[in-house]
Chain A
Amino acid sequence: MKSIGKYASLFVTVLALMGLTFLAIPKAAAQQDGPPGGGDADDTFNPPPCDYNNQFYADNGIDVANLIGRFGDNNGTTRLTGPPATGNQKNYVADSTCSTKDPNRRNFRILATTGGNSDDNNSPFTCASGNGGPNCVNQSFLEPETFEFISILAFIDNQNAFSSSYLRNVGLINGGLQGVQQNPGTDVSIGQTLEIAGQQIVEAPAQTLRGFAMQDIVSNFEAYAALKQTTPQGFALNPCSLAMIQQLQNPNATSVPQPCFPVNDTVVNGQIISDVATPNLRQDWRFATNRNAIDGSDNNDPVGAITGGVINAPFGYFCDDLLGMWIITYFWVTAPLNDPTCGPIYQAIGAKNGFNTDGSPIILTAFELNTELEANGCGAEAKEDPMGGDGGAVWLICPGIPDPRAGAIAPDAFLDQVRNSNGIPQNLITTINFLSLQIFGVFPNELTQGQMKKVMQAANGS
C-alpha cells in the first residue's frame, strides 16, 4: 500500500475541511453521554451486518439456489477470499452471535463493507444539498452527496431467483399442555391459495399477501455500477452486449463495436468473480433510493394529494425491500475523453469530482449522469438481460447498513472501495468516514480533535 502522503495536497485539503467542520460544531461531542467510542455498553448498540438465513431469503421471495457468489456458501468457502478482499484478507467470518442478535441472520458476519454514495438526497444522512434533514445540523458538508455502506451478500444474474410460489407456516401449535393448545399459525406465502378467517384468498404468482412481487419492489431501487472501460485493446466506449447498447446508446445497433468492456462474470480458480466485483469498477457505487416513510412523516406524499410535498414513492428501502436488494444500472462514457463535444463536459465534471484512473470523470449525482452526460450523448446506461443473457449481475443482494454508527462497523471490517492504480482510495472522504465509524462509532464531525488525529493516522495507512 502506498503512502497517502504522496497526495498531500488533496489530503491536506480534506484535513482542513474536516477541521473546519469540527470547529463549527463543537456541541456534537458534548451531546454524547461520554467520550464517543469510550467503551460504554450503549456505544455499540448497532450490530454489524451478517448474511441472512435461507428462510429469510425464502420468506422474501428469493430462491437461494439461484444466488450467485453468496457469502458463506459451500461451507464458508464461497468468496471467502478474493474480490473485494485482497491477499489473505477475508470477506466474512463465522460468528455465532449473528443469529442470536437477529434470528433472520445466519452466522457469517460480513467484513467487506462496500462504500458508495447516494445520489438522490433521500438518504437519512443527506445534507450536501442543503435541504436540512434532521441529521444535518451536525453533518459534515464535505461529501458532495452522501455516502452509504453496504454489504454485497450475493448477486442475481437471472429472473429465476425470484420465487413464484412459496409457503411457510409460522407459529403452529398442535398440542401443548395436555394437548389442548391449538394455534393454526400464520402463513408466509407467495403465490398461494390461503384460508384466512374462513375466507379463501388467492395470491397471484410471485406476489405476497400484500399483493407485491419482490421483483417489482426492487425495480424502485437502482444501484449504479461503473465498469472499467479500459481494455487491452484500448478505451472501450460500449459494453460487450448488443442488448445493452440498444437500450440507450444506440437503439439501432446491429453489432457490438470493438473494443468493448465485458459485462459478464468470470471464473478464476474455480471461484465466480462477478462483473461488478470491485476490481472491475472504475468508481464507487452510486445508489438511487426512495427511502420514504410509509406514513409521510418525512414530507413525502404517500397518497399523492396536491397538498403533499416532496416525493411520491410507494416503497421504502428499509421497510419494503427487506433483503436490501437493488437492480443494477450500468453506466459508461460513450465518447473518447478528448472528444471535442464531450471532452469539455468530462473535464468539467472531473474538475469537480475528480477523475477515474482511466481519465473519465467520477460521477456522483443523477444530474451529472442524466443531464450532463446522457442528454448530450456523452454517456449511456443500461440494465443487463433479466434472462441472464449477458452473463453478469442483474440484481444485487446488498443491504445498506441502516445506521453505520455505534458498532455497525466492526473493528475487523474493512472498507471495500475503488482505488486508484497507485493503491490510494479514490474517495478519501469515504475512507475517513469509515474509519471514524469503525474506530469511534461516530461520524467525523462528532470526533474530538484527538480522535480525529487517530482517524487521520489510520487513514494514512489505508
Chain B
Amino acid sequence: MPGPKRMRFTRRNFIKLAAGAAAVGPFFVFRPNAFASEMTLKVAKWAHFLPEFDDWFINVMAAEWGKRNKTKVTVDVIPVEETHKRAFTEVTAGKGHDIFIFPWPPAEYHQHVIDHVGIYQTVAAKYGAIQQIAHRSTFNPNNKRYFAFADFWVPSPLHFFQDYWAQVGMPLGPVHYGGLLSGGTRLRDKLGIPCGLAFSPTLEGNVTLHSILYSHRALIFDSRGNLVFNKDVFAAKAVGYIQALCQDAGTSEQLTWGSGGSVGAMLGHKSSAAINAISLLRAAEKQNQDLARKLWIQPPLLGSSGMGVTALPHVTNCSVVWNFAQNQDGARQFLADLIDTSRTGYEKSLGVNFPIYPKTVPNIIVRLSQDPQANPPSKYTALKDALHWTPNLGVPGYATPEYMEIFNTFVVPKMVARAVKGESAEDAAATGAAEMQRIVDKWKQAS
C-alpha cells in the first residue's frame, strides 16, 4: 500500500524557492503577489488498488489541472480502511480537504456536502446522462440532492482458478452459489484448497458478503427505504449459506483477513475463488504470468429466489465537496474536468475503473477483448455486460445514509463472524437485524 503522497508547499520547498528567487533578484519582487492570488485545492482520496493509477492521478492529472487553473493542488492518499475515519474527523472538525474521494457512496455525510447536481449538469452537456448506478449511488431521494459525484465504478466478477476447479469436474468454474458450495467442498476435501472468499470486515469482505446476501434475496432495505432485513427467512438462510461455505469449503482465515487478504491468498495460489475487482487478476499478471494464466474471471454466480446474476460494485468512486470546503468553485471545476480524463484514468487503472460516462471510453468492449496483458487477450470480455449485473450499494433502493452506515460499520461481516464462530444463523441474523434497526433509529432521530 503506498504511503500518503503530498504535493504540499513545504517549508523546505519554500526555502529553496526563496533562495532561488533571491538569486534572480527582480523575480522575487512579483512572486509574493503571485502566491497571494494562487488558489489551493486540497484533495483526499482513497488509495487505489493499483498504485500506478494514483501516481498518474497525483503527478499528472492533478498537477496539470493545477497548472491550467493556476491552483496549487495537493492530494493526500488515504488507505481504504482509514477512509471512513478520516472523513469523519474532517466533518467533526468542520475543516479539512476541499474534495474527499470515497470508494463507496458517502451518503451519511449528506448534510455536510454541497449539492453536486451542478457538476452532473456541467458534465451532461458534454458526455450525456449518468448511468443508473451513479444516480442511485449519489442521489438522496429525501432531499432531492446529489450528495456526491461519481465518475467510475469497479465491477466484482468471480475470479477462480481453472486448474483447481477442473479437478472437481468444473473446468468452466462454478455456475451458481449451490455449485460454489458443493464444488468448493469437494475441492477443499480433495486438494485442501479453500474457496477463499473474503468475509472479513474489509472493503472486499463487505462487498462479497453484501453481494451474497442480495443474491439470496436477503434484502437489507426495500426499494422504499424500509428496513426489511430478517423480516423473512432469506436473511437467516443466506447467513446459513455463508456459514456452510466457510465451514465446509473455506478457511477460518477468511474472517480475519486484513485489507487485501483474499487477494494475497489468491496470488499465493492458496485459495480457489474470490469475488473481487480485476485488480486481483492484474496483480497476478504483473507478478506471475503462469499463475495469471490459470486465473479466470466470469460474471457473478447465479443467485436464488429470482435474483439472477448479480454482484455489487467493488468500488463506486464518489467524490464530495464539503460544504465547509475553502475552494468550492475550484473543487466543482476539478471534478467536472476529471471526466475529460476518464479515458486515461481507465488506461492507468489497467481497465479496473469502468467509466460512469460510457462516451469517455467508447471502445471499451474492444479494449476488453484485446487486452495486451491478459492471457488470452480476450480474458476480460467476461466484463462486457458488467453494467447489467452490477446494481448500486443499497439496491433495490438508493445508497442511503442508513445503508452506508451499516456498510461502513461492518454490520454484515460481524454478523457472519458470529455465525461462523458458532452462533446459529437465525440468532446471528437477528442480532444483525437489531444492529441495523439501531442505526435506522439513530438516523430517524437525527432527521
Contact = CB atoms under 8 A, between A and B. Distances in A.
A173 interface: no
B296 interface: yes
Interface string B199-241: 0000000000000000011000000000000001110010011
A30 interface: no
Contacts of A306: 129-132, 134-135
A379 to B, nearest CB: 9
B163 to A, nearest CB: 12
A26 interface: no
Contacts of B243: 251-252
A303 B176 contact: no
A385 B129 contact: no
Interface string A299-326: 0010111111000111100000000000
B308 interface: yes
Interface stretch (A72-80, A206-214, A411-419): A206-214
Interface stretch (A32-40, A352-360, A369-377, A422-430): A369-377
B387 A303 contact: yes
B425 interface: yes
B349 interface: no
A307 B174 CA distance: 35
Given A159-B171, A252-B240, A304-B131, A387 B370 contact: no
Interface in B365-385: 365, 368-370, 375-379, 381-382, 384-385
B298 interface: yes
B299 A219 contact: yes
B298 A307 contact: no
Interface in A213-251: 213, 215-216, 219-220, 222, 243-244, 246-251
A14 interface: no
Contact of A307 (B129, B306, B387): B129
Given A201-B378, A219-B302, A386 B387 contact: no
B298 A213 contact: yes
Contacts of B320: none
B244 interface: yes
B332 to A, nearest CB: 21
Nearest to A158: B169
Nearest to A389: B182
A288 interface: yes
Contact of A370 (B177, B181, B306, B388): B306
Contacts of B299: 216, 219
Given A213-B298, A247-B304, A385 B182 contact: yes
A366 B237 contact: no
A360 B127 CA distance: 54
B168 interface: yes
A387 B182 contact: yes
Given A248-B237, A374-B233, A381 B135 contact: no
A204 B379 contact: yes
A288 B382 CA distance: 23
Contacts of A206: 172
Given A252-B243, A381-B305, A211 B378 contact: yes
Contact residue range for chain B? Answer: 35 or more
Nearest to A243: B182
B96 interface: no
B181 A314 contact: no
A327 B174 CA distance: 13
B244 A246 contact: yes
Interface in B283-304: 296, 298-299, 302, 304
Contacts of B306: 222, 288, 366, 369-370
**Most A-side CB within 10 Å, residue of B132, B175, B387:** B175
A163 to B, nearest CB: 10
Nearest to A377: B233
A165 B425 CA distance: 42
B61 to A, nearest CB: 26
A204 B378 contact: yes
A203 interface: yes
A376 B232 contact: yes
B155 interface: no
A327 B181 contact: no
Contacts of B168: 387
**Most B-side CB within 10 Å, residue of A211, A212, A213, A366:** A211
Contacts of A212: 381, 384-385
A205 B178 CA distance: 23
**Most A-side CB within 10 Å, residue of B128, B177, B179, B240:** B179
Interface string A174-206: 000000000000000000010000000111111
21 contacts: A201-B369, A202-B375, A204-B382, A205-B162, A205-B172, A211-B368, A211-B369, A215-B175, A216-B298, A247-B241, A252-B244, A301-B132, A304-B388, A305-B130, A306-B130, A312-B132, A374-B217, A375-B234, A381-B305, A383-B176, A385-B182
Sorted from nearest, which 10 A-B pairs have the closest CB atoms? A211-B381, A251-B240, A202-B376, A375-B232, A314-B385, A387-B169, A314-B388, A247-B178, A306-B135, A251-B241
